[in-house]
Structure 1
Amino acid sequence: MANTKTLLVDGMDCASCTAKIEGVVCNIPGVENVKLNYTTQKLKFDLSDAANDARPIIKAVEKLGYKVTQPGEKERLANLHWWQTGKGQLVIGTAALLAIAWGLVLFLPQYSGYVFAAAGLIALVPLARKAWAAAIAGQPFTIETLVTIAVIGAIFIDEAAEASIVVFFFLIGELLEAMAAAKARKSVQALADLVPKSAFLVTADGTTEVSADELAIGDIIEVRPGGRIPADGIISKGQTSIDEAAVTGESMPKRKQVGDSVFAGSINAEGVIQVTVENTVENNMISRILQMVEDAQASKAPTARFIDDFSKYYTPGVIVVSALIAIIPPMFFGQDWNEWIYRGLAILLIGCPCALVLSTPAAITSGISAGAKRGLLMKGGAVLEAIGKVKLVAFDKTGTLTKGEPKVTDVKTFSGDEKSLLEYAGAVEASSSHPLAVAIVEEVKQRGFAIKDTTDSSALSGRGVQGNVGGKLAIIASPRYAGEISKFSDEQQKTIEALEDEGKTIAVVILENVILGAIALRDELREDATSAMKQLTDAGVGAVMLTGDNKRTGNALAAQLGIEVKAELMPEDKLVEIERLKERGNVAMVGDGINDAPALAKAVVGSA
């Protein structure tokens, strides 16, 4: 039976490192299913029972010049700016030498060649080390090998200026890749940071604060108002509202009671609850989302696979052709050795992917700069290439197509006037931090109405809130509970049902057992959402909404936008939908929630 192992590889500064390491590890007997994720730096592989020892793998990877550690051993790296990294400082140093060399061209041209050569050789050091390490490990024909030979050859034939420029722009390309990868790693780490590092464990002696990693299935933990839930589980005591927006995308907090499931990383909005742990920290909702992100990132695109295969033949081919040109004419046709060695080196220099080395970083930089001026941050040139081939864009709802917070959309008065209805509602909700309460209070203030003093405010166990306003009992309740207090007329019932059919949440205002009216709330569309959908349609690109919200809300908003909708989706469901949508063409995913992360990583282009 295969034994799956995971190692952490430090020192990768470009995506080509993954193919190099994977190739070496795959050649070790007893090792199968090798996958290296450049973003997370995790090397995963299966070991057969006969070779159940990871030390040969560690030794082989370290021979390539990388540092290998076991999960849990790795210290958190300091957040360094690009100019503080070794590669950044090498780029700055090389740029300074090139500036000096170009100055010498103007004033002391006879010495400029030496400075160009020095700049090229200094910049070449890390590439030459990689080429040498790869050759020792059994991969002599890498892109670093070709660049190293080409640069040295260019210096040999007195083209030091060209050699130094080539290697300088090659370094810039690697630096840009390293910067994008570092930012991606921070994004992945932000997912893991959603889960609290500690939990309140309930024991016979009371509650004890313990590390969340120590929680076991069956443990009972206490979660207090405002705290994040540290583990997946089932509520065993109490009831509350749970904000699951970061996990499921549901815009409104959900009412939860005994027997309901809760997810790690979601927020307890109200009361104290006790939760029976169902999954350990390695298998909770956030961990599963992280795993889906890693798996999606590890799967190579067709273009990447093509480049990996092409490079296996291109590099040795160029070296062989160069050698034949340098050797055959002098050896078999009596030609001058110096002349043909020069031509062989020239072919080698031409064969070096200088055009890509020089143009790609410049094109990437230009595209990223243009995007930044328009508020877009793009991670590398692959995004610029892929976005033009997209046929369908999948949008998250909450915070992407919508504003991400509920707003009052309708105020329906059944008794009295609108001013009184809103003033009583604002008074009762003023002391609450619930998103719906905040929205109602904000609406009252915007209309210039007063927030009256309230006494004896209390929650009604998931059914609403109440308080004494000016000596009168005012209640804000759900339609169902309001119907238990006072009877709705047929017309009032139809009004409420019509609002609910539009995906709106209804808060009924009751004063002394008399229904004053209803307040409808919804997370509304952004002002530019409709026009954006129209622009996509005009460009021949389809759009679909993927949301964890309920079907009624999703259908109502999708109808306004004129797009497809898939509702009530968990993070893994969104991943499945992205795979299904890919059958219709290249898919881009746009989202902003943690629950969108796997789908963002799996799509051809992810935008957050």
Structure 2
Amino acid sequence: LILSYLIAGLPVLVKTWKNLLARKLFDENSLMTIATISAIIIGKTVEAVAVMLLYAVGELLQHTAANSSKKAIKNLINELPEFGNLLVDGKELRIHVGEISIGNKLIVKTGERVPVDGTVEEGRAMLDMSSLTGESIPVEVEKGNEVLSGSINKNGVLIIVAKRRASDSAFQRVVDLTASASKKKSKTELTLRRFAEVYTPLVVFLAAAVALVPPLFMGAPLLEWTYRALVLLVISCPCAMLISVPLTYFSGIGALSKIGVLMKDVHVLEAAAKVSTVVFDKTGTLTSGLLKVKSISSFNGYDDAEIIHMATLLAKNSNHPVANAIKEMHSQELEENQVSDFQEFPGFGIVGKIGERHVVLGNATHLERLGVACNIRSSDSTTAYLAIDSEIAAVINLSDSIREDARGAIDTLRRIGIDEIIMLTGDKKPVAENVAEQIGVDRVFAEVLPEGKLTVVEKLHRRRHNSDERRVMFVGDGINDAPSIVRSDVGVAMGGLGSDAATEAADVVIADDSPSKAAIVIVHARKTRRIVLQNILFTIGAKAVFLVLGSIGIATMWQAVFADVGVTLIAILNAFRAFKLNDHSN
């Protein structure tokens, strides 16, 4: 029996010895060691062996559960592209992704993964981006489109130009963000760890009092009360909470990563469960952000062809959604180096010289700030004004489309009890109110610059009155909205895998362009939090019952093992529920 005890309990005994050398006297291993050795001393060797054996089985199952929950990260790492096909003078050279440099030309054939982020130079193909976005429907790409590493070419051949090195590419970001979040501890877990540091020695001293006080002062049998004390030690082991809480949060993060929602930190999952106000940027978040020129009205003798030429030349230097839409008007390749003295004013517009002519493109405020009288106003759509040599040359009206799942996202947020849903935009009030009415937000702030959005978020923070249960979530594109994303309790960047600014600023990165996933984050965060609380309350309740039974001599060592190992396994099984998204959320 002693040999069986040593075989079953060796890992626990070794950990206890190492803890003693490190002056860490009290943890779950020391509780088991004290309880079982003391049981052997009083002649309960069979029960001591059983405790160690079942504890070892429990530890094995716990490690299996933890490894299972880490499988998502392992799968991601295994899917990282290892090689790419470099094109050199028309020949293919297979090289490791770490050797690929920015500007290299690469060929991606059917069935291969895109090795690094890049831009399609030639070809057309359908890409499976499910490992990045969680969406199973392939995406068609062609010349000029950006492609992200980790995407699988389902058909066709692509020639791409590398835009980032492998270490900075989208798929590596997915792996890094998921792995980083899984290593960090939640506030709840840290609180439980601190509690265990006080609780464990307290239990040891309490057990010693149970073993010694009745025999010394009441004449009670020493062996009987020593046995009761050992039962209390086994029951009191805090394993169930210390294991199930981090496992629950890890499972919650893993479930979201499967649908392309990446969290930087476990704390974010806790904060998301407490969100009461959600703020959306409009363009690129609730709407597609892919503006299209609807109409052009020319003035002061300019014709449409001249307007299109001047506007597209100036817009070529900007990546703003309005500028991108205007560039689409010009079907031919634009001349290089035609614009000098170019400047961009975020939230207002752009300015530059084309030849000897001073050209301004932007909103009415932008023109007026530069001394151009803007007496022509349009209120029914997004509008850009073009001025040439200080006089209005054209009004360009643009339109944007609402994302398919935007209304569904708002409906879900309202159904789960979010107090207020707000939309912020730099667009004119009539345009903003039209979108707000279609999707059903509670409030809209129009004609707001990036610093104005930050002001709104800060006011919402002050309105919380320091309540920990009323958090603010901001959902934006992760670039112009970076200050607001950083300032909010839960900053969400949509479509942010290809953006350094997005992954740096945001707490949550949604790989695709689905605003409904912001609602899923809150729904699943609340579910994860409920499971954590269930495990804590169940563990405390079960152990309290068995502690009472043990102290009055009803519970045996066998029942104590169930109170420890059994309760832990039940908590672990419950924790795994966080790895599954609810059907209505998915």
**TM-score by structure 1 length?**
0.44
**TM-score by structure 2 length?**
0.45
Structure ranking higher on relative contact order (CA contacts 8 Å, 6+ apart):
2
